[in-house]
């Protein structure tokens, strides 16, 4: 594990740019431009794993961007968390804007409920080898950027990896998907945090095959679906994420069919989940059709 003095040295005495190696810079202007100089875009891997939410990324995972992410994650260049968090915040904003456009009838009025940023967890072995929680560190930096811009974002590290998951390095897309199926779960009590918050944005540093994001989305959606009936039982007023929009029938005193309510609730739960990453494979940018 890294010592506190190593962390402090990295923060106040950067030795080289994390992207290109230029001396005495955390991240030079050219590498900052590569990381966040273009508007974030929707990205899709090929093949696209089942259950993958809509994903937005800030930059292609190549050249200086790849070097920057590896310097932060694998070499412990902790000062890079801030510029990486700024890039991730841009992708989160893009994901939230796209989610708003997809909602045919957004709920109006009431206070602004900020997004919950849910980091995709790494294996315990990887975390021990690196000495820090890279994804959570970037998520916290992104949440700070969003809050300074007036969006009350919070980080909710509720996902846990089950034992027995193999290292993803070197696996093909199909092998990664098989390896991660059922690998994640929401920590006890985490579903209450998820269901009581705003949009759920799964966040990660990089997307390659999309298997980790698809499995994270499955775990979060499962927890939300399980928690939804309990919330409705405890309150006569539905939470904003489960508002049934059958207004005309309700004004006539009619109760919508239970199955229809469940279908609407399920769809709205699914729509709460989107994803944002710092970088994605260049092919995922090329495959984007929007």
Looking at residue 197, its pLDDT comes to: 76
With a cut of 80, say whether residue 161 has pLDDT above it. yes
Contacts for 38 with CB less than 8 Å, ≥ 6 apart = 58, 59
Q: Residue 52's pLDDT is what?
A: 95
Note the pLDDT of residue 196: 79
Nearest CA to 31 out of 21, 41, 46, 40 is that of 21
Q: Is the pLDDT of residue 134 over 80?
A: yes
Give the pLDDT confidence score for residue 245 in this predicted structure.
34
Cβ distance 165 to 179 under 8 Å?
A: yes
Query: What's the CA gap between 80 and 26, in Å, rounded?
Result: 7
CA angle at residue 185 from 184 to 190, to 5 degrees?
A: 140
Rounded to two decimals, the pTM is 0.79
Q: Where are the domains of the chain?
A: 4-286
Residue 76 burial (10 A CB sphere; 0-12, 13-18, 19+): middle
Q: How confident is the model at residue 284 (pLDDT cuts 50, 70, 90)?
A: very high
The string of pLDDT tens digits covering residues 9-44 is 454 455 688 888 887 678 999 999 999 889 999 999
Checking if the pLDDT of 67 tops 90, the result is yes
Separation CA 182–CA 68 (nearest Å)? 31
**Pairwise pLDDT comparison (183 vs 247), residue with the higher score:** 183
User: In Å, how far from its chain's centre is CA 195?
Assistant: 16
Residue 170 has pLDDT above 90, yes or no: no
Contact present, 53 and 202 (Cβ < 8 Å): yes
pLDDT per position as a tens digit, 203-228 = 999 999 999 999 999 999 999 988 86
pLDDT on residue 95? 96
Q: Does the bond joining 47 to the residue before it have cis omega, within 30 degrees of 0?
A: yes
Q: Which two tokens stand for residue 39?
A: 């508007």
- pLDDT tens sequence across 237-251: 333 333 333 334 444
pLDDT exceeds 60 at position 280 = yes
Residue 189 backbone zone (phi > 0: left; psi -120 to 50: alpha; other: beta): left
Residue 25 in tokens: 């810079």
For residue 4, pLDDT beyond 70? no
Residue 213, judged by CB atoms within 10 A of its CB (0-12, 13-18, 19+), counts as: buried
Residue 278: is its pLDDT beyond 70? yes
- Measured CA to CA in angstroms, residue 214 lies from 42, 61, 184, 209, 219 at distances of 15, 19, 10, 10, 9
- Mean pLDDT of the region 93-118: 76
- Strand, helix or coil for residue 135: helix
Share of the chain above pLDDT 90, in %: 48
The first and second tokens of residue 34, run together, are 């590569």
């Amino acid at each position: 594990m890294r010592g506190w003095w190593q962390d402090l040295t990295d923060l106040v005495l950067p030795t080289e740019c994390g992207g290109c190696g230029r001396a005495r810079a955390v991240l030079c202007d050219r590498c900052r431009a590569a990381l966040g100089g273009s508007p974030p875009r929707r990205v899709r891997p090929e093949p696209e794993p089942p259950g993958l939410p809509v994903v937005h990324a800030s930059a292609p995972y190549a050249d200086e961007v790849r070097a920057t992410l590896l310097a932060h994650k694998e070499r412990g260049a902790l000062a890079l968390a801030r510029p990486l968090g700024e890039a991730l915040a841009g992708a989160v904003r893009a994901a939230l804007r796209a989610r708003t456009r997809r909602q045919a009838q957004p709920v109006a009025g009431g206070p602004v409920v900020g997004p919950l940023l849910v980091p995709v967890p790494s294996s315990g072995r990887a975390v021990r080898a690196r000495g820090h929680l890279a994804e959570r560190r970037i998520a916290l930096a992104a949440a700070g950027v969003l809050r300074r811009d007036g969006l009350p974002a919070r980080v909710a590290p509720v996902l846990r990896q089950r034992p027995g998951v193999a290292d993803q390095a070197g696996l093909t897309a199909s092998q990664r998907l098989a390896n991660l199926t059922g690998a994640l779960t929401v920590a006890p009590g985490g579903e209450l945090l998820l269901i009581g918050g705003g949009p759920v944005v799964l966040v990660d540093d990089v997307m390659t095959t999309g298997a980790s994001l698809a499995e994270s989305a499955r775990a979060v959606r499962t927890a939300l679906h399980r928690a939804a009936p309990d919330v409705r039982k405890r309150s006569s007023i539905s939470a904003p994420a489960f508002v049934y929009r059958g207004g005309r029938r309700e004004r006539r005193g009619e109760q919508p069919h239970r199955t229809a309510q469940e279908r609407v609730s399920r769809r709205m739960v699914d729509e709460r989940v989107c994803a944002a990453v710092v970088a994605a494979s260049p092919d995922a940018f090329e495959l984007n059709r929007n």
